[in-house]
Structure 1
Amino acid sequence: MSPEQTAIWRSRLLSAPSLFIASAIVTWPLIVEKNAFDAFYEFSRAYDTWGGDEVALLTLNLAVALGLSDYLKSRKLRRLREYRALERNRAKVNARHDPLTGLINRRAFYEVMDQIFSDPEGPDATRYVALIDLDRFKPVNDQHGHAAGDAALCASAERMREEAGAGGAVARLGGDEFVLVFGPAMDAASVERTARRILRSVAKPIPFEGRQLSVGASLGLVQWDAARGLTEMMRRADHALFQAKSNGRGQFAWYDADADRQTRDRAEIAADLKEAVAHQEIVPYFQPIVKIGNTELVGFEVLARWHHPTRGDVPPTIFIEIAEDSGLIGELGMSILRKACVQALDWPEILGMSFNVSPIQFVEQELVSQIKQVLDETGFDPRRLTIEITESSVIDDFSAAAQKIEALKALGIKIALDDFGTGYSSLACLRSLPFDRLKIDRSFVTDVSEQEQSQKIVNGILSLASGLNLEVTAEGIESIEDLTYLQKQSCSLGQGFFFEKPVPAEQISWLLETEWSDRVICTPPLKVAG
């Protein structure tokens, strides 16, 4: 090789690193995929004359860069696919599972039930389901915080899962409510044994930050009938759970079709009652109150009556209780009192009227003002009105009850203690509250002439009332023998079927114009007192 050639190759070799670096600079944007065209254009302008070696080296770098770029792209895409797959799986898990307890959620439970009964053997298989609600969970949250509540939920969920058995599944429906699908091999007896184990297990103390949390559980059990649909079967399980809680909590109850029918019937009556109260379809009936000594008429007790368009006469024991539970009793009571006052304006002024106020209605703050408003609007003399209340109305707060009674008496209204003898604190009531009259409960009056124990109770009440200078009304007089016995004991007043059943307002005038001789056997004819 000549000296000139040697010099040329030496210069090429010496320039190779710089050429490699330069070509790497122009090919690097291909790898990072950023401004590759601009970089290549600037590089080409800087090197106007390229030799074959330079072109070969640049081509090699380009090939390496493109290969590396493809590799990085494929790895990035693979990681992106893996990430998306992971996110899809996570979303799928979250969509089917409760994030706190790890149990399947409501949606997944529905899917499980669909899968069970879509199996060809599913519809004929007997399966049982338990709806579970934690007892005393709210106090744990309130007293120890939500972290303690979460700990109680997780511990309870794990205990249920452990007791579910082979083939069983536990789901959290929300809040502190769970549902358990028992395994296909379990019969009713096995289900009950498992239910008892769950009750014992959940009731065990739950350690939390050095403290012991205490919750319990109630279970509603139902034999699943897929033909009735998921909504109906869950409603039945919920009804069974309600029965378990009503029975005292910490226990299980099976779905009872008869009890369910009664509950649904009660719900229908409640809906109809709301309409009846709004349209004032419930009306007052009146039962005579007489002087026992000579059977003179002194007034009437107002009794609510409801004639349902399809059910007929609904007993007051049913619709009054429903009115109390549904918050309608105040509106219903004032409606009946207003109608009774209007109708009583046509009676002789000497006749009084007794009106019963329920315990729920008595504690209402507006009771006194509402009664006063009715009396003012109707013009009924408050001195002719007696308000009857029971011991349960006043037992919780004698002081508040005394204030309300005094406010009513200030209007001129008399106050009677109803159902006397059936409560557990009658003497305390008499000592603390200013009553005008006692009413002996009908359970002691009916057949009193034949019941020695009832006679002792009635005689004791009459003696007590005499010492306190109180009138006494005996309700439930149904025979001449009972009337005769009470006359001998000098009881003040009486009422009952022996004198007359409750009658509508339009019959009062007729009763006042007749002697009622066929209604009062072996006694003087009924007449208006005075």
Structure 2
Amino acid sequence: MAGVTFLTTAAIALIELGMDFPAKILLFAAATALTIAYRRLPATPATQAEQVEQRDPLTGLANRHFFQDAGQKLLETAHHRRRAVALLLIDIDRFRTIAGSFGHEAGDTLLLHVAKTLRGEATSDAIVARFEGDCFGCLATIDPRAPDRIERLAERLAIRLSQPIRLNDQEFAPRAAIAMARAEGASETIDKLVRKADLALIAAKARGDGKPLWFAAEMESAMAERNAIITDLRGAVTRGDIQPRFDCQVDLGTARLTGFEVSGHWNHPTLGPITADRFMPVAEACGLSGEVSLSLMRQAMACARDWDPSITLSFPLTASQFQDAWLAQKIIKTLTECGFPAHRLEIEITENALFANLALAQSIVVSLKNQGIALALDEFGSGYSSLAHLRALPFDRVRIDPDFICDMAADPGSGAIVTAIVQLGDNLNLPIAAKGLRHSETEARLRKIGCSHGQGPLYGPPLDVAQVRQMLAEKRLLAGVAAAPITSPRLAG
């Protein structure tokens, strides 16, 4: 400090002599010395306490409270400087399940990995925070003429966060849902920006493909629908308002009806008729997908007891259900209560459902197979490690991702993939079924390459219970009724 005093005194003397320029140099040197000295001073207890209050104790990132205050200031500063602000949110898929399966210490390791990755990819002037749990945020100023800067950051994060890491001596490849929102106008607040990013994050998680997603205005109406579903879902399950619909499954070689895939249909009091693809993602997020599926099973099995014994029921289950260690016992109990033969039941599991905890999924599958229940790998080709999963679990059937089937006519690549999957099934002695069939030309092509079964709009819309019974009666496929001769190449009895 003595040196600073000397420099200041000398500068004053030079000013009195009219030597302004050398005086300015001395004053600048004094200011620089003061700044360096201040930064080297140890933090006071009050400063240390303030820093603790602003930081997440696990990751060292800013916490939600600091993010809100600093973020609002950043918005105001950016507006005055004619800069834009973008917010990126990250949420780790099925984090609670991962922590429950690998242990809380492994969960902390994963959170630290995400924090380090985000801080390493973000610019130095960005505000990076852990909001709560497995949700992280990154707020950054961008050039309004080049908003793709935040997109590139999101894409890099999606790639880096999908790379395998080791958790409790096991290699694990996490996946994140990533959403983006941009501040619009001077009236934008940090709360409004976070809400928009939250809505986009919900949509990104529901989409489930791991690709970053920008906020769009229509997400507001989607949130209103989601809230209405959440409010009424549990009561609807209790009352049996969610009823089964039956999608025909057909043997492509004989054109005979072999079974039905069962999905849910709900006449919501305000939203009107809604299908499973709208309410099941919400049910899964709320932890109610298992109750919905078991309710549909009970209803469908009760209806199907007097159908022809050759007719099977297939139920697609959600990824979260395969994280329930009691899933097999619940399904077997439902079978017993309904008096439904186990060999007429097929459970569909997606590759994504296997991803979180393959060991638990294997245990569930073995319990189901021991009871004579069939197992199908659903949406084959859309997940992570198809061949490994075919080796790991005793599947009875594979259903090709409907996107490949829909694109067969227009995209030679999709056709080649479908052909390769069917050939793989032949080599493994594993029947291959096609979902999403819409055109007879595609059906003929699938039949030619050896695909065993088809399912989709080509065979009509999903049917309610009364429509199914009428169709089965016409085809003499109710128990005790003699089968009718084949008269039609499609859905013949």
Cα distance in 2, alignment partners of residues 315 and 247 from structure 1: 17
Quote the residue 2:139 is aligned against. 218
Quote the residue 1:500 is aligned against. 460
Cα distance in 1, alignment partners of residues 452 and 271 from structure 2: 39
1:524 aligns with 2:416: no
Q: Is the CA contact 2:459–2:490 (under 8 Å) kept in the aligned structure 1?
A: no
Cα distance in 1, alignment partners of residues 352 and 262 from structure 2: 20
Q: Cα offset for 1:267?
A: 2.0
1:239 aligns with 2:192: no
Cα distance in 1, alignment partners of residues 469 and 124 from structure 2: 66
Q: Cα offset for 1:454?
A: 2.5
Q: Tell which structure's C-alpha radius of gyration is larger.
A: 1
Residue 379 of structure 1 aligns with an amino acid whose one-letter code is G
Cα distance in 1, alignment partners of residues 412 and 85 from structure 2: 49
Cα distance in 1, alignment partners of residues 394 and 363 from structure 2: 10
Quote the residue 1:398 is aligned against. 358
Quote the residue 2:381 is aligned against. 421
SS state at 1:469 partner: coil
Q: Is the CA contact 1:290–1:495 (under 8 Å) kept in the aligned structure 2?
A: yes
Q: TM-score, normalized by length of structure 2?
A: 0.61
Q: Is the CA contact 1:290–1:494 (under 8 Å) kept in the aligned structure 2?
A: yes
Q: Is the CA contact 1:445–1:476 (under 8 Å) kept in the aligned structure 2?
A: yes
Change (3 A) 1:272 1:401: same
SS state at 2:489 partner: coil
1:463 aligns with 2:446: no
Residue 433 of structure 1 aligns with an amino acid whose one-letter code is L
Q: Cα offset for 1:182?
A: 7.4
SS state at 1:380 partner: coil
Cα distance in 2, alignment partners of residues 292 and 378 from structure 1: 30
Change (3 A) 1:258 1:181: farther
Change (3 A) 1:243 1:385: closer
Change (3 A) 1:447 1:200: closer
Q: TM-score, normalized by length of structure 1?
A: 0.57
SS state at 1:503 partner: coil
Quote the residue 2:297 is aligned against. 337
Q: Cα offset for 1:414?
A: 0.5
More relative contact order in 1 or in 2 (CA 8 Å, sep 6+)?
2
Q: Cα offset for 1:264?
A: 3.4
1:227-274 Cα distance to aligned partner (Å, 9 max, x none): xxxxxx7863440453687899xxxx9986543343233223322323
Cα distance in 2, alignment partners of residues 505 and 420 from structure 1: 29
Quote the residue 1:111 is aligned against. none
Which of 263, 266, 282 is matched with 2:223 structurally?
263
1:302 aligns with 2:258: no
Residue 469 of structure 1 aligns with an amino acid whose one-letter code is N
Change (3 A) 1:317 1:452: same
Specify every segment of 5 or more residues in structure 1 that has no aligned partner in the other structure, as ranges.
Answer: 1-97, 106-133, 144-148, 157-172, 206-214, 227-232, 517-521
**Counterparts of 1:50-61 in structure 2 under 5 Å?**
none
Q: Is the CA contact 1:447–1:482 (under 8 Å) kept in the aligned structure 2?
A: no
Change (3 A) 1:195 1:487: closer
Specify every segment of 5 or more residues in structure 2 that has no aligned partner in the other structure, as ranges.
Answer: 1-46, 89-121, 130-135, 141-180, 205-212, 477-486
Cα distance in 2, alignment partners of residues 416 and 194 from structure 1: 43
Quote the residue 1:434 is aligned against. 394
Q: Cα offset for 1:515?
A: 5.5
Q: Is the CA contact 2:68–2:190 (under 8 Å) kept in the aligned structure 1?
A: no
1:509 aligns with 2:469: yes
Change (3 A) 1:447 1:283: same
Q: How many residues align?
A: 348
Q: Cα offset for 1:463?
A: 1.1
1:374 aligns with 2:334: yes
Cα distance in 2, alignment partners of residues 195 and 297 from structure 1: 51
